Structure 1
């Protein structure tokens, strides 16, 4: 990894889980981590319930747009976090891969999305600690 690690979050539509994860990592790392997100089959727009759930914790992802997963995005990332994209995610040796099993917020109400959001935050905090151990010392 470089001095500034980079993380790519991938899910199918890049409209919920991966966008929430990117929002948390961008905010919690305060710019110390380069953050990307993409989808194997990007949706038309970000899930409005995911936007609302993130707004509740003070993170604005309303301006984001779903993006198509590219090999270039994977190549430029040190860590690739998949969230249900299955075999769609290209594999390159030397990258750190993690698969996070999370419920899909698509079609769910805010009461169901809040626990998903909170689980993502917990995982992001652990990921951030693993990426920036020197900052802790």
Structure 2
């Protein structure tokens, strides 16, 4: 049976990134699978992009995250680092704060990702500022769509009190952290939201394997 033809790349510059990812995942995923994922990643990010200057680079990074998630799904149960996924509506505030703080605190104990059910174009500026004040780097973060791969790969899925519905995958741990939305809030309020999320992160980290 002939394999389905992957979609044409919406930007020819994506071919270089697709080749890099295909090489990285050689023996696990076909070049056609990689090309389909990077094309889809580009299309999803383009829906909310105000400018497209960095869209090719971001599409490659999103496709890389999705391929890593798929690889995790295909491994034996219990192998690899535990994966934690934070979800909120826009992936611009609470979920970005939580993911950055957990990654900072957990070091190499956990694989962290975040996504939005309706992602926007960029991270809230005060979110980046309060993380910088806490010594946490958010320079490479960008809002990402919630995709099947990252949900399937997650061991723990955490929503951020915004009423977002996630696909339910049996055997996963689901939590909800009810914290206020930092969108449009003054910097002092965003700092308090950061600290509330950090307290949740500390509690979560204490329950993860290898944390004690």
- Give the TM-score taking structure 2 as reference length: 0.61
Q: 2-side partners of 1:113 and 1:87: how far apart?
A: 21
Q: Which moved more, 1:60-69 or 1:81-90?
A: 81-90
- Asked whether the equivalents of residues 79 and 96 of structure 1 are also in contact (C-alpha less than 8 Å), the reply is yes
CA contact (8 A) 1:40 1:85 kept: no
Structure-2 change in CA distance of 1:114 and 1:124 (3 Å): same
Q: Give the structure 2 partner of residue 28 of structure 1.
A: 105
Q: How many residue pairs get matched?
A: 135
CA distance in 2, matches of 1:20, 1:97: 18
The structure with the largest alpha-carbon Rg is: 2
In the alignment, does 2:56 pair up with 1:56? no
Which segments of 5 or more consecutive residues in structure 2 lack a partner in the other structure?
1-77
Q: Deviations over 1:2-53 (max 9, x none)?
A: 4511100000000011001111111111121000100000011000000001
Higher percent of residues as strand: 1
Deviation digits for residues 29-88 of structure 1, max 9, x if unmatched? 112100010000001100000000111100111321000001211110100000145353
**Partner SS for 1:8:** strand
Aligned-partner SS, 2:207: helix
Misfit runs of 4+, over 2 Å: 84-88
- Partner in structure 1 of residue 152 of structure 2: 75
Which residue in the other structure is 2:180 paired with? 103
1:113 Cα offset (Å): 0.4
Query: Would the alpha carbon gap of residues 75 and 85 (structure 1) be closer, same or farther in structure 2, given more than 3 Å must change?
Result: farther
**Which of 1 and 2 has higher RCO (CA within 8 Å, sep 6+)?**
1
User: 2:203 and 2:91 mapped to 1: Cα distance?
Assistant: 22
Does the Cα contact within 8 Å between 1:12 and 1:84 map onto a contact in 2? Answer: no
> Which runs of structure 2 are paired with 1:1-137 in the superposition (5 Å)?
1-132=78-209, 134-136=210-212
| SS in structure 1 of the partner of residue 184 of structure 2 | coil
Say if 2:88 and 2:164, in contact at 8 Å, map to a contact too. no
Is the 2:117–2:164 contact (alpha carbons within 8 Å) kept by the matching residues of 1?
Answer: no
Distance in 1 (CA, whole Å) between partners of 2:183 and 2:164 is 20
What's the secondary structure of 2:175's corresponding residue?
Answer: strand
| Unmatched 5+ stretches in structure 1 | none
Q: CA–CA distance in 2 between the matches of 1:74 and 1:98?
A: 13
